[in-house]
C-alpha cells in the first residue's frame, strides 16, 4: 500500500477529543493539552513530521482561549516535542523518540496502572495455542519448507481480480451490500453444489450447505453444534491441534485415535465415541490417505456404534483432479457425515472461504451459531468467489496447482533420496503438499530446527500434533507450498548439512569401518547386487557390473529404471547415473562390513548405505517385474 | 450475477464420480448409472436442458463398456428423464420435475434414512436465536422500518470499488495473499488507531487492536476471553439478544441491568458483576445515550467493585461527527474497558469488519481464540478497508450518512408527530437510526405487526431484547436505514392506519364525545392555549387566537416556532401551519371534554388530543423561553 507522505496534517477536530479537557482536573488546561499531545506522539498517533493545527484553530475547537493553546505549544517546543518551521507551521519533532517508517511501529511506553483488571480476568484457556508458529518473516528465509505459507506465484492474481471486479459492478453491489440476515450468496452455494461437490461424489441441496470463513470456522461450528460436556470426541493422533483445542473448549472428552500408513486405524477405540474427526483424503498432518477398505469400515462402524463423523477434506481442491477416492460424505447414506472443506487452500490466506455440507437441520443450527460467532462470511468475497468458479478460473487454478505441487513434491522426494545423511522414512502420500519425515531415533528435531534455521531452512516440528508429552522427538514435516521447485534441492542439501551437524553418531561409527583401497574396491564391488529402500519406502535394486556399467530399478512395481557407470580414481569410487541423482557424478570412499556397504565422504562421514544381496539370497519378490 | 445459459453441459469427468460404480453392488452397472443420473436431476445438479456427455465418453471415463451407458441412457429417455435432440445430443428433459430459473431452487426429495444421526446429536443450545427475523424479501415491502437492513443508496459503491481495485494491484495481492499467521493488516490497524480512535478519545498501540469479522465477532471473542461458568455477566435490559446468547453459551450467570432515558442505570445491581456489557453511545436497542454523569459513575464503580466493562460502541461511525461524548475506553485509566465496534454499520452487511481495543495481553488471547474460531478476517477486505480509510472515503461516507440519517430521523419524528393515532412515547435519542416506541398499554405489537405488514409496513417487535417473558407488549422499534426520507411519511400514515385497525378503543370512546357544531367551534376555540407533548416527549404550546391566526412553540427550549391559520367550513375545523404538519391544510371535527380537546376524523375516530391551558393555570416552566 502506498503510504501517504509522512508530512501529514493532524486537524483540530481529530486532536481535540484526545485532549479530554476537564476544568475540574488538577492539571491546568494548557498542561492537559501538553499531556495529550505528548501521549499522541508517544503512541505514534502523531508521527514525526506531522503538522499540527494552529494554536488559534485548536483553541476555537477546544473552546479555550488562544493563550492556553499558545502556552501549551510553546512549552512543547521548548521541551523538543514540537518544532516550528518558519512560514510553514508547527510539526512533531524528528528527534527524541523512535519513529519507524510507519507510525504504527512505534510502541508507546506502557501506561502505569493501579490495576489491570481486564488482563487479570483473561480465561487461561483462551491463551492455549500451538507452541510452534511460523516466523512472521518466513519470506526472508531462503528455504521455508512450511506448509500453509504460500509463495507469491501461487495466488491467481489476474483471475481473482477479474472475479472481484465483476462483483464490484453496481448491480452486484446492490445485491450483496444490503443485508439479508444470515443467508449465504445463493450463486456461490450453487457453484459449489453443482461444480465442486459432484467431483467429490457428493450430491447436496442448497440448504445442506453453509459457507464459512475458511475450513477452521467450519470445524468450529460443527463442533459447536455437536459437542458439549459429556460428549466423547475421537480425533486422529497425530492430529490437528486446533481440533484438540476445540474439543477442550467444548468441555468434551477427548479420545486419541492412532494413525498408520493407511490413515486412521478403525478399531474398537472408536466404539465409545459420539463424534469422530477424520481427514481421509489427506491426513492432517501426516498426509497419508485413508484406504477404501478403511473408509467402508469406518462408515459401517459409525452406523453400528452410532457416532457422527466430521470429515475434514483437507486439500479438497487437490483431491478431486487425480484418481480421488470419493469423500466419505459421498458414501454416506444415513446422514452421519458432516463434511467440511476449504474452498481453496491457496485462496484461503488472502480470502478465507470454506464450507460445510450436512443435513438441513444441522446447517440451520450451524447458521444460527455462526450468527452469534461472526455473522456470514464477507458477502463481497462470496460473490467474487462465485464468479471465480463460474468463469472456470477455479478449475484452471486447480490444474495449475496440481502440476506445480506435483513437480515440487517430486523435487522434494528426489532431493531427500539424494542427500539423506541418515536413514529417514517418509510416510506414503498420494500427492499433496507435505511429507512427514521420521529420522533416526537419536535425532533431536529441536536441535535440527536451530541448525536448519541458521542455514536458511525452515522446517516444521510436530509436537503440536500430538497429545502433550507423547510426540516423537525425531519427526518433522516438510511442505512445498512456499518455495519453488528449483530451490528445493539446495534447501534439502542445506537441511542435510544441518542434520549431520545435529547428530554426531556417524562420526563414531565411522571409526570402526575399514575404508577400502582403490584396488579393493575394484576387486570386491564388481558383480554385486545392492538393495535398499528409498526414503519414501520404495524398494530399489542396483546391479554393479564388473565392466563398470550399472543398472538400477526402483519403485514398488520396479517401474523406475536407470543405468550408469562406476569407476575408481584417486583412491575413491565414482558413479554417474543417467537420470537418477540429478545425473551428476558423485565420488565416495567405500567400506563393507558383513552384508552392508557404506559410502563415506572425504571426512569419512557415512552418506549412504545399502544391503549386499548375494546371488544366493536375491529376493525376487522385491523385484516383481525383473523376471 | 449474470447466469450462464441454462443449456449447460455436464462433462463426463464431473458426472462419473456421482455414479459411484461398485461391481459388487446388487444393482447392475447400468442401473447404478441410471440411479445416479436421476439423483442428480432430482437434486438440481443436472437442471433441465443440461447436455449430457455422450454414452461413449461416459463409458470411457467410467471404464465400462459402451453398451452399459447406452442402455442406461435409453432407459432414461424411455422414462422421460432425458430427451434426445437430433444432431445436438442428449439433454435433461424439461417436464416431469419442477425446475426454477436457477437450478439451485430445486429441492430434492429427502432421502430415506435408517437414522439421521447427525441431526439427533444437534446440541439444543445451538438452535436458540432471535424469534423475529427480517423477512428475506424485505425489499419487496414499501415501508421497511427495519434497523440493520440498508437501502441501496447508502453503500459507497464508487469509493469502495476504488479501494478494492487498489487492493487488487499485483504488489498488494502479494502482501495479503501469502499467509502470515494471525497478524492483521498493519495498514488497517494503523488507519484505525490514527484516524478513527482519536476521535472517540482513544489512544491505542497496534498491539492493542484486533480486527474482527464485524462487531458481533468482537463481542464473541471478548466474551470467550472473559467469561466462563461461574462468571457473573451484567447486560442491559432491554439489551442485545446475541449478548444474552453469548452469556448462556459460556455457561455464565446473567444479571439484567435496567435502562432508562439516560441509559444504563448505575446502581448496586452492578456490584456483583465480573463483566458488564454496555452500549453507552447508543443503547442497543433503545438508542438512548448514556449521560456523562452515568459514565463517570460507571467507571468509578468498575474500579471500586472490580469489574470489566465491554463497551459496545454501536454506530461508532455516527457518534464521532457530532458532539460526541468520549468513549468510556477513552476515559479508562486502569484498562478496565474492552472496546468493540463495527468499522461501519453500512459497510458491514457486505464487507463485515469490526475491531476490538484492549490491553495487549487481552488482544493476544482474543487473537488466539480467533485463530480457532475462524482465522483472521479476510485480508483482502482488510487491505481494501485500509485504502478506503486512507483515501478519505470513510470520512466522506460518514458525513454523507450523518446527513442522510438525520434527515430520515427527522422525517420519522415529524411523521409520527403528525399521524399518531394514539398517544405514543419515543425514547430520547441523540441522532442515530432508530426510535424506540411505546404505545398505549392496550396496543398489541403482535397484532400491529400483522396489520402493518398487510399495508406494506415492516416494524420490529422487541420481545427478543428482553429476558424471556418480561417484554412489554406495547413497544416496537422503527428504523430508517432501509427507506428514503421521502417515503417515510407515507409509511407512517400506513402504520397509523394499522394502529387504528389494531385497537378499537377510540371507536368506543368517541361514542361519548359530543362533536361541536361549526358555530360552537368558532365560539369556544378562539383564544384557547393548548398544551401537549410531541411524540418524542418535547413540550409544545399552541395559541389559537380569535382572529384565526395561531402560534406554536415546541422543543424543550421552545426553540421551534411556527405560525398558521385556522377557520371553520362545512361543519369542520381547518388548520394550516406554515411549516409544521408538512405545511398542509387539514380538517377535523372537534370535541371538548373537561380540560381536553379532541380532533376527530370523518369516521369520528380520534386523531389527536391536547390539554386546554386556562389562562390561570398556564405553566411558564414548560415554556422557559416564552417570557
d(CA B420, CA B129): 33
Q: For the domain with range B398-508, which CATH number is right: 3.40.800.10, 3.40.1390.10, 3.90.380.10, 3.90.1150.10?
A: 3.90.1150.10
Q: Which residues pair with B561 in a beta bridge?
A: B553
Of residues B150, B366, B373, nearest to A373 (C-beta): B373
**Are A381 and B381 in contact (CB < 8 Å)?**
yes
Return the residue in A180, A246, A292, A373 with the most chain B beta carbons within 10 A, the one to mutate for interface testing: A373
pLDDT at B180: 67
Residue B511 banded pLDDT, cuts 50, 70, 90: low
> How many residues does this entry show for chain A?
627
Residue B380: its chain A contacts at CB < 8 A?
A: 164, 350-351, 381
Q: How many CA atoms lie within 13 A of B279 on its CB side?
A: 25
Residue B109 has what pLDDT? 35
Asked if B575 and B586 touch (Cβ cutoff 8 Å), the reply is yes
Contact A398/A242 with Cβ under 8 angstroms? no
Mean pLDDT of chain B: 84
Q: Does A234 touch chain B (CB under 8 A)?
A: no
| Mutation choice for A interface testing from B375, B381, B483 by most A CBs within 10 A | B375
Q: What is the mean pLDDT of residues A51-70?
A: 89
Distance CA B194, CA B204 (A): 9
pLDDT band at B621 (very low <50, low <70, confident <90, very high): very low
For B378-413, what is each residue's pLDDT tens digit?
Answer: 999 999 999 999 888 988 888 888 889 989 998 998
Which chain B residue shows the shortest CA-CA distance from A205?
Answer: B43
Between CA B473 and CA B459 the distance in angstroms is 14
Average pLDDT over residues B329-336: 88
Pairing type for strands B89-92 and B82-85 reads antiparallel
Q: Is CATH 1.10.10.10 the classification given to domain B12-96?
A: yes
Structure confidence by residue, pLDDT tens digits, A213-260: 999 999 999 999 999 988 999 999 999 999 999 999 999 999 999 999
Confidence of residue A199 (pLDDT cuts 50, 70, 90): confident
Closest CA of chain A from B213, distance in Å: 6
Average pLDDT on B562-577 reads: 92
| Residues B207-211, mean pLDDT to the nearest whole number | 96
Q: Considering only A348-352, A394-398, B93-97, which range has the smallest mean pLDDT?
A: B93-97
pTM: 0.77
Query: Would you call A245 an interface residue with chain B, using a CB distance cutoff of 8 Å?
Result: yes
**Residue B215 C-alpha, separation from nearest chain A C-alpha, in angstroms:** 8
pLDDT > 90 fraction of chain A, expressed in percent and rounded = 42
Q: What is the mean pLDDT of chain A?
A: 84
pLDDT for residue B536: 65
Q: Which CATH code of 3.30.160.20, 2.40.128.640, 1.10.10.10, 3.40.30.10 fits the domain covering B510-613?
A: 2.40.128.640
- pLDDT tens per residue across span B414-427: 888 888 756 678 88
C-alpha cell at B54: 455422450
Tell me the β-bridge partners of B475.
B438
B195 pLDDT above the threshold of 90: no
**The predicted structure's pLDDT at residue A593:** 83
Average pLDDT over residues B113-132: 71
* pLDDT above 70 (res B208): yes
Interface of B with A in 145-164 (CB under 8 A): 148-152, 155, 157, 160-161, 164
From the list B13, B43, B380, which residue is nearest A350 (CB)? B380
Amino acid B563: pLDDT = 94
CA distance linking residue B295 with residue B263, whole number of Å: 10
Please determine, for residue B46, whether its predicted confidence score (pLDDT) is greater than 50: yes
Q: Does the CB of B321 have a partner CB in chain A at under 8 Å?
A: no
Kindly identify which residue of chain A lies nearest to residue B206, measuring between CA atoms: A104
Measure A217 CA to nearest chain B CA, in Å. Answer: 4
- pLDDT-derived band at A509, boundaries 50, 70, 90: low
Question: Residue A86 pLDDT more than 80?
Answer: no
pLDDT of amino acid B317: 67
Facing B216 at nearest CB: one of A349, A375, A386: A375
**pLDDT score, position A323:** 52
CB-based contact (8 Å) between A24 and chain B?
A: no
pLDDT at position A112 is 40
End-to-end, the C-alpha distance of chain B in Å comes to 64
In order of B415, B545, B548, B580, B589, the CA distances from B577 in angstroms are 15, 14, 12, 5, 18
Our CA-based measurement puts residue B526 at a distance from the nearest CA of chain A, in whole angstroms, of: 48
Provide, as residue numbers in chain A, all residues whose Cβ is less than 8 Å from the Cβ of B372.
Answer: 129, 216, 220, 242, 245-246, 249
Query: Among the listed ranges A31-35, A164-168, A476-480, which one has the minimum average pLDDT value?
Result: A31-35
Chain A residues with beta carbon closer than 8 angstroms to that of B177: 150, 152, 155, 157, 347, 349-351
What's the pLDDT at B280? 93
The set of residues, in sequence order, having a beta carbon less than 8 Å from that of B552 and lying 6+ positions away, is B540, B541, B542, B543, B561, B562, B563, B564, B577, B580
Question: What is the predicted pLDDT for the residue at A102?
Answer: 28
Which CATH number is A157-391 given? 3.40.640.10
Tell if the CB–CB gap between B119 and A359 is shorter than 8 Å.
yes
Per-residue pLDDT, B323: 52
For B529, the 3-state DSSP assignment is strand
Contacts of B610 (CB under 8 A, 6+ apart): B530, B531, B532, B542, B596, B597
CA A73 to chain centre: 51
Does residue A180 carry a pLDDT above 60?
yes
Of B116, B150, B337, the CB nearest to A335: B116
Q: Which of A6, A17, A39, A196 is the best substitution to test chain B (most B C-beta atoms within 10 A)?
A: A17
Determine, for residues B201 and A17 on separate chains, whether the beta-carbon distance falls below 8 Å.
yes
Integer Cα distance of B562 and B542 in angstroms: 9
| B510–chain A nearest CA distance, Å | 43
Task: Residue window 518-577, chain A: list those with CB within 8 Å of chain B.
Answer: none
pLDDT confidence of residue B558: 74
Interchain pair A274, B121: CB under 8 A: yes
DSSP string, B103-159: GGG--PPPPP-S--HHHHT--GGGG---S----TTGGGSSEE--BTB--TTSS-HHH
pLDDT class of A115 with cuts at 50, 70, 90? very low
Residues facing B539 on adjacent strands? B533
Percent of chain B whose pLDDT exceeds 70: 89
* Contact status of B378 with chain A (Cβ, < 8 Å): yes
The model's pLDDT over A415-461, given as tens digits with 9 standing for 90+, comes to: 888 887 556 788 878 778 999 999 888 888 989 999 999 999 999 99
Return the C-alpha cell found at A300. Answer: 459401517
Q: How much is the pLDDT for B462?
A: 94
Using alpha carbons, select from B204, B183, B482, B186 the residue that is nearest to residue B338.
Answer: B204
Instruction: Please state, in angstroms and rounded to a whole number, the distance separating the CA atoms of residues B364 and B205.
Output: 13
Angle separating helix axes B360-373 and A241-249, nearest 10 degrees: 100
Interface of B with A in 67-96 (CB under 8 A): none
Chain B residue with Cα closest to A323: B17
> Are A186 and B102 in contact (CB < 8 Å)?
yes
Give the pLDDT confidence of B589-603 residue by residue, as tens digits: 998 887 888 888 887
Question: Is the pLDDT confidence value at B446 over 50?
Answer: yes
Secondary element (H or E) of residue B257: strand B253-260
Q: Does B626 touch chain A (CB under 8 A)?
A: no
Q: Which band of pLDDT confidence, cut at 50, 70 and 90, is reported for residue A105?
A: very low
Classified as helix, coil or strand, B90 is: strand
- Do B12-96 and B398-508 fold alike per CATH? no
Give the model's pLDDT for residue B11. Answer: 83
* pLDDT score of A121: 80
Which residues on B lie below 8 Å from A334 (Cβ)? 113-117
**Mean pLDDT (whole number) for A395-402:** 87
Taking CB atoms and an 8 Å limit, are A198 and B18 in contact across chains?
Answer: yes
Distance from CA of B574 to the nearest CA of A (A): 43
Q: Which position has the higher pLDDT, B610 or A3?
A: B610
User: In whole angstroms, how far apart are CA B17 and each of A389, B58, B239, B249, B499?
Assistant: 19, 11, 51, 41, 59
- Asked if the bond preceding B279 is cis, omega within 30° of 0, the reply is no
| Domain parsing of chain B, residue ranges | 12-96, 157-391, 398-508, 510-613
B476-505 residue pLDDT tens:
999 999 999 999 999 999 998 898 888 765
> Which residue, A121, A115, A242, A220, is CA-closest to B228?
A121
The angle subtended at Cα A395 by Cα A392 and Cα A397, nearest 5°, is 105
pLDDT given for residue A625 in this prediction: 40
Give the gap in angstroms from C-alpha B607 to the nearest C-alpha of chain A. Answer: 36
* Phi-psi label, residue B236: left if phi above 0, alpha if psi -120 to 50, beta otherwise: beta
Instruction: With cut-offs at 50, 70 and 90, classify the pLDDT of residue A536.
Output: low
pLDDT higher at A324 or A53: A53
* Cell numbers found for residue A262: 493407511
What integer pLDDT is reported at residue B549 of this predicted model? 94
- A300 Cβ under 8 Å from any chain B Cβ: no
Alpha carbon A475 to chain centroid, angstroms: 17
Name chain A contacts of B322, Cβ cutoff 8 Å. none
- Asked if B190 has any chain A CB less than 8 Å from its own CB, the reply is yes
More confident residue, A495 or B104: A495
A282: nearest Cα among A324, A219, A233, A237: A324
Amino acid at each position: 500500500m502506498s503510504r501517504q507522505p509522512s508530512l501529514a496534517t493532524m486537524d483540530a477536530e481529530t486532536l481535540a477529543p484526545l485532549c479530554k479537557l476537564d476544568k475540574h482536573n488538577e492539571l491546568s488546561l494548557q498542561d492537559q493539552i501538553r499531556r495529550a499531545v505528548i501521549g499522541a506522539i508517544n503512541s505514534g498517533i502523531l508521527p514525526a513530521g506531522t503538522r499540527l493545527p494552529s494554536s488559534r484553530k485548536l483553541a476555537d475547537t477546544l473552546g479555550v482561549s488562544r493563550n492556553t493553546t499558545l502556552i501549551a505549544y510553546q512549552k512543547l517546543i521548548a521541551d523538543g516535542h514540537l518544532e516550528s518551521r518558519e512560514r510553514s507551521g508547527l510539526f512533531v519533532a524528528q528527534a527524541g523518540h523512535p519513529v519507524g517508517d510507519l507510525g504504527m511501529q512505534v510502541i508507546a511506553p506502557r501506561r502505569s496502572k493501579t490495576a489491570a483488571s481486564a488482563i487479570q480476568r483473561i480465561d487461561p484457556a483462551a491463551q492455549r495455542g500451538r507452541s510452534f508458529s511460523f516466523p512472521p518473516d518466513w519470506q526472508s528465509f531462503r528455504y521455508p519448507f512450511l506448509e500453509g505459507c504460500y509463495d507469491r506465484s501461487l495466488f491467481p492474481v489476474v483471475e481473482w481480480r477479474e472475479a472481484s471486479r465483476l462483483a464490484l459492478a453496481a448491480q452486484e453491489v446492490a445485491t450483496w451490500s444490503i443485508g439479508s440476515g444470515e443467508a449465504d450468496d445463493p450463486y456461490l452455494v450453487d457453484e459449489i453444489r453443482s461444480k465442486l461437490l459432484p467431483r467429490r461424489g457428493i450430491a447436496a441441496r442448497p440448504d445442506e450447505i453453509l459457507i464459512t470463513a475458511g475450513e477452521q470456522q467450519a470445524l468450529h461450528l460443527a463442533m459447536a453444534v455437536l459437542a458439549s460436556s459429556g460428549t466423547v470426541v475421537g480425533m486422529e493422533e497425530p492430529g490437528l491441534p486446533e481440533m484438540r483445542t476445540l474439543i477442550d473448549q467444548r468441555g468434551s472428552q477427548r479420545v486419541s485415535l492412532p494413525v498408520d500408513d493407511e490413515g486412521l486405524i478403525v478399531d474398537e477405540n472408536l466404539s465409545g465415541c459420539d463424534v469422530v474427526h477424520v481427514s481421509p483424503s489427506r491426513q492432517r498432518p501426516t498426509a497419508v490417505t485413508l484406504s477404501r477398505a478403511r473408509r467402508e469400515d469406518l462408515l459401517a462402524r459409525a452406523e453400528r456404534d452410532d457416532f457422527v463423523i466430521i470429515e475434514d477434506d483437507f486439500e479438497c481442491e487437490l483431491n478431486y483432479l487425480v484418481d480421488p477416492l470419493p469423500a466419505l460424505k459421498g458414501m454416506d447414506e444415513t446422514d452421519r457425515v458432516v463434511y467440511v472443506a476449504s474452498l481453496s487452500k491457496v485462496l484461503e490466506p488472502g480470502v478465507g472461504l470454506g464450507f460445510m455440507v450436512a443435513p438441513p437441520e444441522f446447517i440451520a443450527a450451524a447458521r444460527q451459531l455462526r450468527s452469534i460467532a461472526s455473522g456470514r462470511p464477507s458477502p463481497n468475497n462470496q460473490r467474487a468467489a462465485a464468479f471465480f468458479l463460474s468463469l472456470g478460473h477455479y478449475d484452471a487454478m486447480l490444474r495449475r496447482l496440481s502440476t506445480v505441487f506435483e513437480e515440487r513434491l517430486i523435487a522434494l522426494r528426489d532431493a531427500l533420496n539424494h542427500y539423506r545423511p541418515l536413514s529417514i522414512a517418509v510416510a506414503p502420500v498420494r500427492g499433496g503438499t507435505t511429507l512427514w519425515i521420521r529420522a533416526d531415533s537419536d535425532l533431536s528435531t529441536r536441535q535440527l530446527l536451530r541448525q536448519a534455521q541458521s542455514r536458511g531452512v525452515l522446517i516444521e516440528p510436530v509436537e503440536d500434533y500430538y497429545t502433550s508429552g507423547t510426540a516423537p522427538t525425531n519427526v518433522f514435516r516438510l511442505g512445498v507450498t512456499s518455495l519453488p521447485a528449483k530451490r528445493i534441492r539446495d534447501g534439502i542439501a542445506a537441511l542435510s548439512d544441518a542434520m549431520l551437524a545435529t547428530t554426531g553418531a556417524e562420526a563414531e561409527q565411522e571409526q570402526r569401518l575399514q575404508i577400502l583401497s582403490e584396488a579393493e574396491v575394484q576387486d570386491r564391488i564388481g558383480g554385486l547386487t545392492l538393495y535398499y529402500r528409498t526414503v519414501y519406502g520404495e524398494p530399489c535394486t542396483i546391479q554393479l557390473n564388473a565392466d563398470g556399467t550399472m543398472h538400477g530399478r526402483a519403485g514398488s512395481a520396479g517401474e523406475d529404471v536407470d543405468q550408469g557407470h562406476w569407476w575408481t580414481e584417486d583412491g575413491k569410487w565414482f558413479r554417474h547415473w543417467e537420470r537418477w541423482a540429478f545425473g551428476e557424478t558423485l565420488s565416495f570412499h567405500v567400506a563393507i562390513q558383513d552384508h552392508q556397504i557404506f559410502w563415506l565422504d572425504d571426512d569419512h562421514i557415512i552418506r549412504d548405505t545399502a544391503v549386499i544381496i548375494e546371488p544366493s539370497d536375491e529376493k525376487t519378490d522385491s523385484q516383481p517385474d525383473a523376471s
